[in-house]
Amino acid sequence: MPKERSVNPAQAQRKAEKQREISKNKKNLQHQRNEKLARRNPERLQRQIEELKESEARGSLRPKDKDTLAQLEKDLKGVRRARDALGDAAPKFPIHDRPERREPRSAREEQQQRRQHLGKRRRAQDETHSDSEDTDPEVRDIPMPRDTPPPISRDSNRRPFRDPQIGPDGHRIPHALPTKPVAAVAPQVVYSSAPQLRDLKKEATKFVPSAVRQKQKQVKGTGGRLLEADEIDRLEKAGYYA
C-alpha cells in the first residue's frame, strides 16, 4: 500500500482561512448587488413591460423592442428576488394609482385617431390650465395666439427672377474670357570683361602688425601717452618717423 502523505496543519489552517475569506467576499458582493437592484422600482418596470406587451399584441413591436422586453422581464425577476432577500431593509417607493389598461387597438385605428387630432387646438384646456403651476410667473402674462396665423400673401408687384446669363432669345450667354495677363520680362544677366585694378600699396598697409602700428601711433603722438626725448630718438633710429 502506498504510504499516506502527512497533512501539514499550518497549511490546512491557511487553506481554511482562504476558503472562509472567499465565501465572505461572495456574500458581500451578493449583498451589494441586491442593494443595487432593490433601488429600482418594480412597478415602473412592470408598467414598461405591459406597454411593450400591448405593442406586441398589436403587432407593432420592433426587433429592438423585443430585446428590451426580454431584458426588462429579466431585470424585474432580479429586482423582486433582491427585494425579497433584503426584506424590510429594501427601499420603499410611493404607490401611484395605476392607470386603467386600455384595450389593444389596431395600428390603423391609432393612425386614424392621430389624423383626426392633427392640427387642432384645444382652447378650453388651454384656458383652464393657463394659470398652471408649471408656467413661470415671468411668462404667464404673455398673450398667446388663439388661432393659426393667416397665410402670407404674395406680393403682386414682385418681379420674377431673371437670370442675367440668359439672353432675350432664351439661350445662355457665354461667359466672357478674362484678359490675358502680360508675361513678365525675364531679367537679363550682363557679363563684363573690364579689367579689375588693384591698389597693392593700399592693400599692403592693411597687413601691418599691431606692435608696429602701436609704435607708429606713439611717434605721431596719438598713442595715448607722451614720449620722452630718448624714446623718440630710439623710434626714429628704428625707422619710425612722425
pLDDT at 116 over 70: no
Q: Which three cell numbers stand for residue 234?
A: 630710439
* 186-202 mean pLDDT: 84
pLDDT at 124 over 50: no
What is the enclosing helix (H) or strand (E) of 223? none
What is the enclosing helix (H) or strand (E) of 27? helix 9-38
Is-contact 40 79, C-beta < 8 A?
Answer: yes
Most trustworthy range by pLDDT among 10-14, 100-104, 126-130:
10-14
Per-residue confidence (pLDDT) for residue 44, from 0 to 100: 85
Model confidence at 97, in pLDDT bands (50, 70, 90)? Answer: very low
User: Which residue would you say has higher pLDDT here, 123 or 33?
Assistant: 33
Q: pLDDT per residue over 131-154, tens digit each?
A: 444 567 677 677 777 766 766 766
Strand partners for 172: 166
pLDDT at 158 over 80: no
Per-residue confidence (pLDDT) for residue 68, from 0 to 100: 87
Is-contact 52 70, C-beta < 8 A?
Answer: no
pLDDT at 190 over 50: yes
Query: Where along the chain do its domains lie?
Result: 11-89, 205-237
* 33-38 mean pLDDT: 79
Closest CA to 82 of 33, 27, 28, 43: 33
Model confidence at 106, in pLDDT bands (50, 70, 90)? Answer: low
pLDDT at 122 over 60: no
Per-residue confidence (pLDDT) for residue 156, from 0 to 100: 55
Task: Sort 53 into a burial class: Cβ within 10 Å, 0-12 / 13-18 / 19+.
Answer: middle
Per-residue confidence (pLDDT) for residue 235, from 0 to 100: 77
pLDDT at 160 over 80: no
Q: pLDDT per residue over 4-26, tens digit each?
A: 566 688 888 888 899 999 988 88
Is-contact 90 38, C-beta < 8 A?
Answer: yes
Half-sphere exposure of 115 (CA within 13 A, CB side): 6
Residues contacting residue 104 through CB under 8 Å, at least 6 positions apart: 54, 57, 58
Its sign, for the CA torsion 124, 125, 126, 128, is positive
Dist. CA 141–CA 138, nearest whole Å: 7
